[in-house]
Amino acid sequence: MVAGARKPEVVLRGAATVPVYNLAPPAFYAPMDPSLKYPALSDLKAACKARVPWFVWEYLDSATGSESVKPRNRAALEQVLFRPAILRGPITPDLTTRFLGQDYALPVGVAPVGMSGLIWPGAEAALAGMAQARRIPYTLSTVATQTPETIGPIAGDMGWFQLYPPKDPDIRKDILTRARNAGFRVLVLTVDLPGPSRRERQLRAQLAIPPRLTPSMLWQVAQRPRWALGTLMVGTPRLRLMEEYLKLDGNAPSTAHPGYLLRAAPDWDYLHAVRDLWDGPLVIKGVLDPADGPRLRDAGADALWVSNHGGRQFDGGPAALDALRDMRAAVGPDMPLVYDGGVESGLDVLRALACGADFTMLGRGWHYALGALGATGAGHLADILRDDLIANMVQLGATRAEHVAEQLAPRQDRRDEM
């Protein structure tokens, strides 16, 4: 076994156990404090790149086209500036956030990431366990490598389930029933995948659907022993939920990939049908056009998730933060809005909240953390985000994150216009 690697288990309430591949320090020396070596998400990102096979890195980190959306998301966040407060005495920030009828410890959670378990062995269980322990939401993707029944009990009341729409109404109903029975309370319907996108970096890395392991990939795996060993222990990453339905579908071609069952292009009728089937909170993910906001609210959405899918679908859209401002203006102050895209720190969280979000999510970031440190990386990133929120709120003299909007400074890119 690789030095320092061991195989702890996440204990399911009253059921089986799921192996989670961790990287614990050997007992003979004092455990390293990760906040000294990895104080920022950028440190975790660099370490992740060095520890996962290249094709896995390309899957996680890539976007579509010339990847202009990723820097656009970042630039828009960095242009949000605040005026720090002075002479306010001691400040004790309160980070608790009530969202969609639930209390969370931070206004931050885990966005859905398909094939999470390919990126790091046991990723879904590790992230769900961290989310439950830290009291932040974890969103399980339809195309995760674990089923709702396995992950639901680990996430407990922190579990959100993300639906990529199955074509077959019976499969749709069955998946929603299973998610509900597994304890997921919030449903996220992703609507920004009207068709597959071209991700050129993934193509160059020879990532195909259905997946094929090429000699070059095997060589990459051989160079990353921790990842390889973890994958051997946890099992080959597969789309376990959709696979079950593929086995039952007599019409599916024998070579069909589970993604064959998913209709990537839902319409408004589809949304109405999902609304009728789900009696809990419904979040619509992947909304950018402010004109869609009021219509989605009228169609029964309880919250909108403003996102450009981290730039993985369309390279010609606006920064998600600009879309967020427009969406807030279109739906008014009361419609709950989630934001994702480029969030790397507590300061970024405050920026998104100041521009109209009620809650923020990270997708890639949690996986950079897992790649860097194994299962413990997720908790470390939660610490980074919490500590950075607190440090920046103290600078702003804000005890509640929703108050920081009052301290927005003029946007750097608009100064000349003022």
- Which residues are known binding-site members for glyoxylate? 59, 164, 199, 309, 312
18, 60, 176, 355: residue in contact with ligand FMN (rule CB under 6 A): 60
How many CA atoms, within 13 angstroms, populate the side-chain half-sphere of residue 124? 32
- The pairing of strands 97-99 and 102-104 is antiparallel
CA 352 to chain centre: 16
Strand partners, 282: 187
64, 97, 132, 141: residue in contact with ligand FMN (rule CB under 6 A): 141
Residue 179 has which token pair? 């998610």
Q: Does 202 bind ligand FMN (CB under 6 A)?
A: no
Known catalytic membership, residue 367: no
Residue ranges for the binding site?
59, 112-114, 141, 162, 164, 190, 199, 285, 307, 309, 312, 363-364
Distance CA 220, CA 180 (A): 39
Which 3 state secondary structure label does DSSP give 159?
A: strand
Q: Tell me the window of 109-117, 223-231, 290-298, 350-358 that interacts with ligand FMN (CB under 6 A).
A: 109-117
Distance CA 95, CA 298 (A): 31
In the shown chain, the binding pattern of residues 12 to 51 toward ligand FMN, with x for contact by CB under 6 A and - for none, equals ----------------------------------------
Neighbours of 398 (CB within 10 A): 24
Strand partners, 339: 306, 360
Q: Does 345 bind ligand FMN (CB under 6 A)?
A: no
- In the bound state with ligand FMN, the residue whose beta carbon lies nearer, of 201 and 275, is 201
In the shown chain, the binding pattern of residues 149 to 168 toward ligand FMN, with x for contact by CB under 6 A and - for none, equals -------------x------
362, 375, 381, 404: residue in contact with ligand FMN (rule CB under 6 A): 362
In order of 31, 279, 282, 291, 367, the CA distances from 184 in angstroms are 35, 12, 11, 30, 22
Catalytic residue list: 309
Binding site for ligand FMN (CB under 6 A): 59-60, 111-114, 141, 143, 162, 190, 285, 307, 309-310, 312, 340-343, 362-365
